[in-house]
Amino acid sequence: MGLELYRQEGSKKLRCGYTTGTCAALAAQAAARALLLHERPEKATLLTPKGVEVSAPVEELEVGEDFARCAVRKDAGDDIDVTDGILIFAQVRPIPQGIQVDGGKGVGRVTKPGLNQPMGQAAINQVPRQMITQALSQVLEEGERVCGLEAIISIPQGEELAAKTFNPNLGIVGGLSVLGTSGIVEPQSLEALRKSIEVEIRMHRAQGEKQLILTPGNYGEAFIRTYAPLPPWPQVKCANFIGASLDYCAQYGYEKVLLVGHLGKFVKLAGGVMDTHSRLADCRMEILAAHAALAGGEPSLIGQIMEAATTDGALELLQKAGLWEKVRQTLLHKIQYHLERRAAGNFSVGAIIYNNIQGFLGETSQVKGILGLMEEKE
């Protein structure tokens, strides 16, 4: 049974799903009912923190002398989620008192500071732990039992799927995290990605790091590996969330931040665009054309730039016209200006731009100072 909750995304109606934390709590509730109330529940139901009631079928129920175990299948709705359709198990057994929640096979362990749970603990975040605890408490109360309960959450496919998530970067080993703050998955939500970036930035700072390299994605990582002047600072892939990532760096007290990105992304920074997704702002050619005009470009060249399909194509036009050096300098100046405005004096910031054809294309005025190669200009 799918969750009948939808949200509108433009002209599309997208179905919501429920989180791994909701699945774990549902499974724990059903296992507890089987163990303490001697039921064989076909479904489990609970109220999520968002206030939405969720019901899901109970699968693979097994009851032993002193335990019960069952699973709930993850339903991510229309969200693109590697965990969609997997089984999340809870095994419940009585203990003398209290409620304990831990992770078993396929649930990751925290190995670095700065995450939602302490080092050594299962990567079951605070809200899912509260949901599981509340579900078990309600069954204890209904059964009028004076014992406590232990719930072990496991995800058989967790270790395999974790390689496709941010967990390896975060120092979560051995499996997936059990996540969720509302209990509900919003389809195609970018908030989860933004939160993952924040967690990674916070984690590096909690480990004592004060310098950071931000890059939008895999191409940036590949360039960084080949560019000798860059120090071995921690790196975070910030996707299109340049501005939000800089805000997190300020929030967590970084001192130096370098951004490394492709011309096609970072040209937008020269226009003050801090979320570089093309659906929000695809002003690459307009910005390049404006800087070409400032550099003295002929109207015919400006028109060609406006019609160029890629920034690499526009760069070739500028180089043929002998204007690239002037455009490069004004672009880098404006990129630095907008980065400093966003950083608001909280840390030193600079940017390096490249493309996949020529490699290094330039750096803003503060980069050498940040790297300790020269004194920063006042």
Q: Tell me the pLDDT tens digit for each residue of 296-322.
A: 999 999 999 999 888 999 999 999 999
Q: Residue 376's pLDDT is what? A: 42
For the four alpha carbons of 164, 7, 85 and 132, in that order, the dihedral sign comes to positive
- Helix 311-320 and helix 299-307, axial crossing angle in degrees, nearest 10: 160
d(CA 215, CA 354): 12
- Which residues are registered as beta bridge partners of 149? 94, 99
The token duo for 238 is 């910030």
The pTM assigned to this predicted structure is 0.72
Q: Which amino acid is at 354?
A: Y
| 8 Å CB contact between 75 and 18 | yes
Dump strand ranges (E) for the chain: 6-9, 12-15, 17-18, 43-47, 53-57, 59-63, 68-73, 87-95, 99-103, 106-107, 109-110, 148-154, 172-173, 175-176, 184-185, 211-215, 235-237, 256-262, 348-355, 359-363
State the pLDDT at residue 136: 97
What confidence score (pLDDT) does residue 196 get?
84
- Give the domain ranges of the chain: 6-185, 191-370
Q: How far is CA 58 from the centre of its chain?
A: 30
- Supply 132's token pair: 């599981």
pLDDT (0 to 100) of residue 106? 98
Q: Which two tokens stand for residue 93?
A: 């057994």
Specify the pLDDT at position 188: 59
How far apart CA 256 and CA 300 sit, in angstroms, is: 42
CA distance linking residue 121 with residue 177, whole number of Å: 11
CATH of 6-185, one of 3.30.420.40, 3.90.1170.50, 1.10.3720.10, 3.30.2110.10: 3.30.2110.10
β-bridge mates for residue 7, sequence order:
14
Low-confidence ranges of the chain (pLDDT < 50): 375-378
Residue of 373, 224, 346, 353 lying closest to 287 (CA atoms): 353
Query: What is the tens place of the pLDDT at every residue in 102-147?
Result: 999 999 999 988 788 999 999 999 999 999 999 999 999 998 888 9
Distances, alpha carbon 31 to alpha carbons 64, 152, 281, 295, in Å? 11, 11, 50, 71
DSSP collapsed to 3 states, 4-26: CCEEEECCEEEECEECHHHHHHH
Residue whose pair of structure tokens reads 């730039």 in the numeric block? 305
State the Cα–Cα distance between residues 171 and 330, nearest whole angstrom: 40
